[in-house]
Structure 1
């Protein structure tokens, strides 16, 4: 009988420590406005930019393509489609940078990257993946816009 009571107490403790907890600061209106699920998360698309197959022989053409690349990034941020963009440091792969798109499908992200001159010219290539992250990610953009001193 003591063993049965001990097992029941042990199971009760186990279930109470693994039970889901409700966030006391949960803001349903904010969660809804950001498209958050019950975990505060949502789907995005991650883009990995790689060195493309076009050899950069004409430096004027390369500069023009990458100037267009930067303009395209700004345009997509202003449109609310691109949340994260940045280069990667030196690595053993051909990886050059990442984008995180606030879109629901890889196909929609593929259409957005097709407007990038560096990708159009083959200086960059892109791989796209569904990504699940915090629905609050778009909220950082307001602060990010206030901390840069020089625009590349």
Structure 2
């Protein structure tokens, strides 16, 4: 079965755009979020993850999985999403070009 690709976009909730609102709790959530993404990469399910560096940042996660249901579950179980720190939106996606 051919793998499917999905992109999920992450946006911080508005109150977290101000760095002064961050506590150890939010920092721990983001650290866990990063660790989960690293695990997905090791499992071969994560193609790319990153964020923009502007004042209203967004992140993207590109997955390669068996089903849309799996992509939705991975997105919804992302610690940053699950803990309400970020909002996420899923899109079907296909990588066309990339640097090897």
**Structure-2-length-normalised TM-score:** 0.77
Aligned to 1:52: 13
Query: Which structure dedicates a bigger proportion of its chain to strand?
Result: 2
* CA shift in 2, pair 1:130/1:123, >3 Å: same
Count how many residue pairs are aligned between Structure 1 and Structure 2.
Answer: 95
Gaps of 5+ in 2: none
| 1:66 maps onto 2:30 in alignment | yes
> Larger RCO: Structure 1 or Structure 2 (Cα < 8 Å, ≥ 6 residues apart)?
2
Preserved CA contact (<8 Å) 1:85 1:100 = yes
* CA shift in 2, pair 1:80/1:95, >3 Å: same
**Over alpha carbons, which structure has the higher Rg?**
1
| 1:76 maps onto 2:37 in alignment | no
| 1:96 maps onto 2:64 in alignment | no
**Structure-1-length-normalised TM-score:** 0.53
Aligned to 2:78: 116
